[in-house]
Amino acid sequence: MAASVDLDVITPGAVKFQGKVEIVVAPGGAGDLAALPNHAPMLTTLRIGVLRATVADGEKRRIEFAVNGGFMQITPAKCVVLTDMALSAADINIDAVQAEARRAAESLAQKHGANDVSERDAVAWAAAQLEVARAPQV
């Protein structure tokens, strides 16, 4: 078995994942970042996007969550993700998210670039959910 790191994905309402993974790829505040076993300790913010990990179960199973920001603490043996929302493919209603994506895009278009942070976040959140929902299950 390859080296592994413990991963905890925690929201205010639930522990969404707890287990050993080979690699974690997260949407860091300054760009995507990966954490492998024995990574140097760090703390980073997360932006809206997709959190991915390869589970260390010998089958190379991949897990994905749409996250709406948060924080990630990395130590040589553990990664902890704290986020308000972490949605797996099973949690996502594609039709509802597609409708929300259309509404968010229309709202963003009406802003014409002025004070559009919440609209941009809504578009990014919908896109992250759709990416997770449409990903092939490996």
Structure confidence at residue 77 (pLDDT): 95
**Residue where a domain terminates, one of 55, 70, 87:** 87
Structure confidence at residue 113 (pLDDT): 67
Q: 52-79 burial, b if ≥16 CB within 10 A, otherwise e? A: bbbbbeeeeebbbbbbbbbebebbeebb
Structure confidence at residue 2 (pLDDT): 60
Distance (Å, rounded) from C-alpha 115 to C-alpha 46? 22
Mean pLDDT by 10 residues, the chain (138 residues): 88 97 96 95 97 89 96 97 97 94 88 80 94 82
Q: Does 96 lie in the same domain as 73?
A: no
Structure confidence at residue 131 (pLDDT): 95
Distance (Å, rounded) from C-alpha 19 to C-alpha 8? 7
Which residues fall within 8 angstroms of residue 115, CB to CB, at 6 or more apart?
Answer: none
Number of independent structural domains in the chain: 2
Structure confidence at residue 111 (pLDDT): 78
Structure confidence at residue 102 (pLDDT): 92
Domain of residue 111 covers 90-134
Q: Does 72 lie in the same domain as 122?
A: no
CATH number at residue 51: 2.60.15.10
